[in-house]
Amino acid sequence: MTGAAIEANGLGMTYGRKRGWALRDCSFRLPTGRICALVGPNGAGKSTLLSLAAGLLRPAEGSVRVLGSTPAEARPRIAYVSQDKPLYPQLTVADTLWAGAQLNPASWDRAAADRIAGVLPQDAKVRTLSGGQRTRLALALALGKRPELMLLDEPMADLDPLARHQLMGVLMAEAAEHGTTIVMSSHILTELEGACDYLLLVDGGRVRLGGESDDIVAAHSVLTGQARDLAPHTVVESRTTGRQLTALVRREGPVDDTAWDVKEPSLEELLLAHLRSPEAPALLTPSAHAREEVATA
Amino acid sequence: MSVLTPAPARDSLRGPARVVLRQHRLLLRIAGGLALATLIGLVALALRSSHVAEVFEASGCPVDGSDGNRPCMQTARNYLDSMSFYRSIFQGVAAFLTVLPALFSAFVAGPLIAREFETGTFRLSWTQSVSPTRWLTAKLAVPTVLVLAGTAVLASALRWTSSRTANPYPAEWHSWPLFATTGTVPFASLLSGLCLGTLAGLLIRRTVPALAVSAFATGAVITASAYFRRELWPTRTITGRSLDVRSNIWWVESGPVNSSGERLPPDLCSPAGSHGEWLRCMADHDVTSQYLDYHPASHFWPIQLVETGILLALAALALALAFRVLRRRTG
Amino acid sequence: MAESAAVEFRIDRRSGVATYLQIVQQTKQALRLGVLEPGDRLPTAREVVEATAINPNTVLKAYRELEREGLVEARRGLGTFVRRTLGSAAVTTDPPLRAELSEWTRRARAAGLDRDDVSALFTDVLNSTFKGDQHS
């Protein structure tokens, strides 16, 4: 059994009683070595989940374990890039990379950082950099740390298509060479689709889908045919036009393909269907099930 | 799976300490420059004032100009004016050193800590290999060492300088800026400012409010400790018909005592009226003698140490709370 | 680093064909056309993903597929190498087949079919001939 990069058990977070739960009752497991897309609409709890895993927040309930230990213990082995790409504004690019080396003396890899920060003007102050350049520098710091797990919150948002392709390539190369687990959040799936092989759909503070993207897609079908009962399948979304019914279902047993026109949904169709139907039950593939019992502390 | 063995504490503090130094390079240079300028100014002033004193001594004129010689009176007046001016400069520097803890506290709370939260860079700092606790320790250690060292240098320079200009305006040991800038109290004040600033920065998390609150809180602590200083050690008392006022004492309170030994209010009989009225008033209240509560110069160290103890206890409390806040917030 | 790899993959996200299949097909195409020859090294997973920004496991999956078909072999620590060619004899060194197709195409054109018609007809015949041979 491969270890878990992230394992959450009944994880919940609230930023104060009045503001409700940002994340509630989340249990899932992300195996190591995966490139995981953390998707969901704005405000779904993606950033909260990443902050909890990075040890920046303490859970209000439940627990999260990272690389087999607490987020605090795993700190030297995790890299995290927050959505707003915070950097020390008064330092130069060169100073920032130097600071990365100072703050991660055990693992710092200058070459890895330079691979993407090399094109930046080294003597420019961070506060003068553009959004894309800041992203580049923030990712360089994360890569230079040579982590086992990278938690990237909306990493590609500020990048032009060319830089996006290049940086994604560097991240994938890192994963190919070192088996790094990468979690990338986005509310735009297409940004991540080719790169990720694992999926976590977070919506309304809950994990709705979790597992290998291929398996998740394969578990669903789009059925088109005359309107009638869809049992025993779990209906995620259905639409009736006249006598014709189109439904996205989670198959529970074989589908009668004489009665239905059966088609495999695209990942995007699948996600949109789940987002439009908040009542659809969650699906976690076997590898995404949390192994530990909920700690009753 | 590789488990990193924790690096020795000293090593893991060195990195963040270097980063803090570079982050606040500009401010450190300005502060260092100002401290150096003050130091040079103090030395120059000491040399200048001892020169003025020597010249005056060489003139042979009495300080009070009592021989009625007009030119000599002018010389004495000029001498006294200069010396009083120099004294006020020393007092000014001393006063600055007394309020330094409040400024330091504001710096720690605002630019050093709260700004990290305001700009979100704490998310960067806390996800490097050093824990938030080490990050905070390094962040505090660097400016603290520098400001303590700077204060030590400036306070001893000040003491040396004022010893050269003690006449004709000697500073009394218990006077406000002098007491708070000698001994151990200035360092304890700085540490309490540091810790209050840390707590304020971690709790408030916004630069300007954190800066204001911590400056105010530390200012209040400095003022309170100056105000209650005389209460920190039991006073000595003398009683008698006429009080033998010793030199170099800290006069705390004096007043009349009646024949049964009871202390009466100090303003019992107004000295504003005639001497006869005053005597009658004293007789009416059966005043037999006067009392005086005071601190002799030997109380300097006991008061210093008690005050230091209180300030350090406050600092320790604030620091413990600050680290607790930090640990509760992070996973 | 060994000498540079002999092919480069181009991934089309919108083609609707699974990414790993695109790699498999492009490798086979290169084998057929003689661009890849036995002993050639395929690009490493790292090289492929750095250039295409796709998931490394996708590349490994494609290479496993090629390995399963006996077209390539992985040599530990060295890379993945081509073992044999794929019908390249028929494509490049069988002039009769090519000549027959050319002849047929000329006749189709003479019969008034345009390029798209010819292509559609060819694909249709291709599909019915190879029905069942597709990857499942």
Q: How far apart are CA A81 and CA A41, in angstroms?
A: 19
- At B269, the pLDDT band (50, 70, 90 cuts) reads confident
Nearest residue, CB atoms, A91 vs list B22, B126, B130:
B22
Q: Which residues in chain C (59-78) have CB-CB distances under 8 A to chain A? A: 59
Q: Is the pLDDT of residue B54 over 80?
A: yes
One-character DSSP codes across B242-308: S----TT-EEEEEEEEETTS-B--TTSS-TTS-HHHHHHHHHHTTEEEEEEEEE-GGGHHHHHHHHH
**Residue A152's pLDDT is what?**
96
**Residue B331's pLDDT is what?**
54
Bigger pLDDT: C77 vs B35: B35
**Residue B18's pLDDT is what?**
93
With CB atoms and an 8 Å threshold, state whether A56 touches B331: yes
- Is C110 found in the same domain as C60? no
Determine the 3-state secondary structure of A275 from DSSP.
Answer: helix
Q: Is the pLDDT of residue B8 over 80?
A: no
**Residue A297's pLDDT is what?**
38
- Is C112 found in the same domain as C57? no
Q: Percentage of chain C with pLDDT > 90?
A: 35
Q: Is the peptide bond before C95 cis (omega within 30 degrees of 0)?
A: no
Reading the block at residue A215, the tokens are 């398996």
With CB atoms and an 8 Å threshold, state whether A72 touches B131: yes
**Residue A290's pLDDT is what?**
86
- Domain annotation covers residue C22: yes
Residue C42 CB neighbours (<10 A):
26
Helix B25-59 × helix B9-23 angle, to 10°: 80
Contact of C113 with chain A, judged by CB distance below 8 Å, is answered with no
Interval A50-64: pLDDT, tens: 999 999 999 999 999
Bigger pLDDT: A235 vs C132: A235
- Domain annotation covers residue C7: no
B149-165 burial, b for 16+ CB within 10 Å, e for fewer? Answer: ebbeebbebbeebbeeb
Interval B275-331: pLDDT, tens: 888 888 888 888 888 888 999 989 999 999 999 999 999 999 999 999 999 988 875
Rounded to an integer, the average pLDDT of A202-222 is: 92
Residues of chain C positioned with their CB less than 8 A from the CB of A166 = 53
Q: Percentage of chain A with pLDDT > 70?
A: 97
- Is C68 found in the same domain as C45? yes
Q: Is the pLDDT of residue B79 over 90?
A: no
Rounded to an integer, the average pLDDT of C35-58 is: 90
**Residue C94's pLDDT is what?**
63
- Is C109 found in the same domain as C65? no
- Domain annotation covers residue C3: no
The reported pTM is 0.84
Superfamily of domain A4-213: P-loop containing nucleotide triphosphate hydrolases (3.40.50.300)
Q: Partners of C32 in the beta sheet?
A: none
- Of B1, C50, C9, give the one whose Cα is nearest residue A176: C50
Chain A residues contacting C via beta carbons under 8 Å: 35, 165-166, 168-170, 172-173, 175-177, 193-197
Q: What is the ipTM of this complex?
A: 0.89
**Residue B66's pLDDT is what?**
67
**Residue B255's pLDDT is what?**
85
Reading the block at residue A146, the tokens are 């040579």
- At A295, the pLDDT band (50, 70, 90 cuts) reads very low
Q: How many residues does chain A have?
A: 297
- Domain annotation covers residue C8: no
Q: Partners of A250 in the beta sheet?
A: A220, A234
Judged by average pLDDT, the poorest of A99-113, B174-188, B297-311, C91-105 is C91-105
- Is C23 found in the same domain as C77? yes
> Residue A134 carries which side chain, given as an amino acid letter?
R
Half-sphere exposure of C85 (CA within 13 A, CB side): 13
Q: Is the pLDDT of residue A219 over 90?
A: yes
Phi and psi for A262 in degrees, rounded to 5? -105, 130
- Domain annotation covers residue C87: no
Residues of chain B positioned with their CB less than 8 A from the CB of A52 = 331
> Could you state, in order of their start, the residue ranges of all structural domains in chain A?
4-213, 214-281
Residues of chain B positioned with their CB less than 8 A from the CB of A98 = 22
Reading the block at residue A15, the tokens are 């930023």
Contact of C57 with chain A, judged by CB distance below 8 Å, is answered with yes
- CB C83 within 8 Å of CB C38: yes
Q: Percentage of chain A with pLDDT > 90?
A: 71
**Residue A296's pLDDT is what?**
41
Instruction: Provide the number of CB pairs (under 8 Å) joining chain A to chain C.
Output: 47
Q: How many residues does chain C have?
A: 136
- Of A26, A29, A1, give the one whose Cα is nearest residue A11: A26
Q: How far apart are CA B86 and CA B45, in angstroms?
A: 7
Domain that includes residue C52, residue range: 13-82
- At B10, the pLDDT band (50, 70, 90 cuts) reads low
Which of C44, C60, C82 is the last residue in one of the domains?
C82
Q: Is the pLDDT of residue B222 over 60?
A: yes
With CB atoms and an 8 Å threshold, state whether A196 touches C49: no
With CB atoms and an 8 Å threshold, state whether B329 touches A58: yes
Q: Is the pLDDT of residue C1 over 60?
A: no
Q: Is the pLDDT of residue B243 over 70?
A: no
With CB atoms and an 8 Å threshold, state whether B22 touches A57: no
CA distance A25 to chain B (A): 18
Q: Percentage of chain B with pLDDT > 70?
A: 91
